[in-house]
Homo-oligomer: A and B are copies of this chain.
Amino acid sequence: MRRDSKLSGVLHVLLHMAEIEGPVTSEFLAGVMQTNPVVVRRIMAGLRDRGYVRSEKGHGGGWQIACDFETVTLRDIYEALGAPELFAMGNRSEAPGCLVEQAVNAAMNQTFREAEALLLAQLGRITLAALSADFHARLAARGGDFNPGTAHAV
């Protein structure tokens, strides 16, 4: 299975949007992410439904951030995406009649539930502002300037 990169992708988009004044088109964001505008609209739909971003049609339209980076966490974004499956491993069958399989499932499920709880707690501790601050620290460390429109040309 290919690994789901929607969370990674949408965070990338959000941090770029934060560097840009005014609305940004799906077309532009698709260029930044090296993908298709429809893919951008798809992953942004969930965020729009939750009010984290706003979209406008027509001339001068596009996407804009509509939330406070200080309070929205990666967990919020993850859930806005529909809380996609976190683990690549699962049980062969979910409601087996075989007692052996029930025992196996019980052990695996508990283990993965605990890992999921940790994962979500950790994501809940990282705000978009913290991510953005990390980006700016990296930018300062490199001593460079950031042009959001050309940063991906390389």
Residues of A bordering B, CB below 8 Å = 1-9, 11-12, 15-16, 19, 33, 74, 84-92, 97-108, 111-112, 114-116, 118-119, 122-123, 126, 130-132, 134-135, 138-139, 142, 146, 151-152, 154
The 8 Å CB contact of A85, one of B5, B7, B88, B112, is B88
**B126-A122 in contact (CB<8A):** no
Q: Check A138/B102 contact, CB under 8 A, given A108-B7, A111-B119.
A: yes
Interchain CB contact under 8 A, A131 and B104:
yes
Query: Which residue of the partner chain, among B11, B103, B131, B138, contacts A135 with CB atoms under 8 Å?
Result: B103
Partner of A104, one of B2, B3, B6, B11: B11
B-side contacts of A9, CB under 8 Å: 92
Using known A-B contacts A11-B104, A131-B103, determine if residue A154 contacts B89 with beta carbons closer than 8 Å: no
